[in-house]
Amino acid sequence: MDTIQVARLCALGGLGEPTEQPQAVSGGLLHRMWKITTSRGRFAVKELHAEIMRKPGIQDAYRLSEQIAAALAAEGIPAVAALPDKQGDVLYSLDQLSLLVYPWVDGVTLPVSSIDPERARQMGIILARIHALHLDISSFEPLEWGHFNDEDWDALTFQASELELPWTYRVRSALPHLLQWTRNYEQAGLSLGQRVVVSHRDLDQKNVLWQDATTPWLIDWEAAGLINPTMELMSVALYWSGIVAGTPDETAFSAVLDDYVEAGGVIEDAGQDAVYGFMGTWLGWLLFNMRRSLGESVVSVEEQELGIRETLSTLAILQALETHGATWAALVDARR
């Protein structure tokens, strides 16, 4: 964003007059972030990925996700929701850019390697509060359990071999596992899809800003929507116990579960189904990054290289979920 665009953005949203140059903010795997300072305060601006914004229905999806964030914030959940423009629309269009504007929150996100049982407990409590609200879902489309085509895995690994991408052999050799994980995920969906709530759906370390050790703010609501509560509990427990960095810490994992239940959360579904459901999330991310590393829907070489790195790390997470999933499922089942 340049200074002229910032001035126009401020006029659209009634944000005041810019007083400083826009500052690029690091972080995020898909979008660009900016910090702008005006006569009315400081704001975070999310510049949405141009290729993603070409998908059919994506604009309404972003509006709905911010509607969810605003509804939860109104109920006392520490959610940072987008600020609407003067016409009441949270999605700003400026030149060829699609933008979301948020109040600036001073804070830090924790690295995925940070294991802190006390903060994990807070995540369990917040998640229980969100699930207990039972926001009206009548306006939502029924939850569609994602489907992965066997042919996609085969075709993408074949294309990767022609380009000699670094992940080719590892993913190709894991192809039988990918097909089995897909079956497990789809089978689990028959049960998990029967119970859904409105929630964040991506509540990992990168999406929580900490003003201090006891003041979290939930950000990046773009994935918000319907989800099975036990599946989301499993995902949050695994994230906050370190699944992305390596083998999860059982103390932190149990801290999420215990405080979720103590705060009123109810576990109704089987832990193993929740593991399989969570694996489906990672299968989707793997597929996206395989495509990205092949040059699909990217705007830079850096983005393509990120896709390569994410493909390798995502496969490792899926393998860990297969190896240790039964252990984590048993911990969830013990609290049903």
Domain covering 3-103, topology: Phosphorylase Kinase; domain 1 (3.30.200)
Task: Decide if 66 contacts 220 (C-beta within 8 A).
Answer: no
**Type and span of the H or E element at 306:** helix 301-333
What is the CATH architecture assignment of 117-333? Alpha-Beta Complex (3.90)
The residues near 278 (Cβ < 8 Å, ≥ 6 apart) are 231, 234, 235, 238, 321
Residue 27: is it exposed, middle or buried by C-beta count within 10 angstroms (0-12/13-18/19+)?
exposed
Rounded Cα gap, residues 223 and 313, in angstroms: 21
Closest CA to 198 of 297, 69, 305: 69
pTM for this predicted structure: 0.94
Q: Are 117 and 59 in contact (CB under 8 A)?
A: no
CA distance readout (Å), 96 to 43, 89, 145, 180, 229: 21, 17, 33, 42, 38
Tens place of pLDDT for every residue, the chain, 336 residues?
A: 889 999 999 999 999 999 999 999 986 667 899 999 999 999 999 999 888 899 999 999 999 999 999 999 999 999 999 999 999 999 999 998 999 999 999 999 999 999 999 999 999 999 999 999 988 877 777 777 878 999 999 999 999 999 999 999 999 999 999 999 999 999 999 999 999 999 999 999 999 999 999 999 999 999 999 999 999 999 999 999 999 998 899 999 999 999 999 999 999 999 999 999 999 999 999 999 999 999 987 878 998 999 999 999 999 999 999 999 999 999 999 999
What residue ranges do the domains of the chain occupy? 3-103, 117-333
Compute the distance between CA of residue 161 and CA of residue 310 in angstroms, rounded to an integer.
17
What CA–CA distances, in Å, run from 82 to 13, 50, 133, 210?
A: 11, 19, 21, 18
The Cα–Cα gap between 267 and 278 comes to 15
Nearest to 207 by CA among 231, 236, 228, 227: 236
Phi, psi of 269, deg, nearest 5: -110, 160
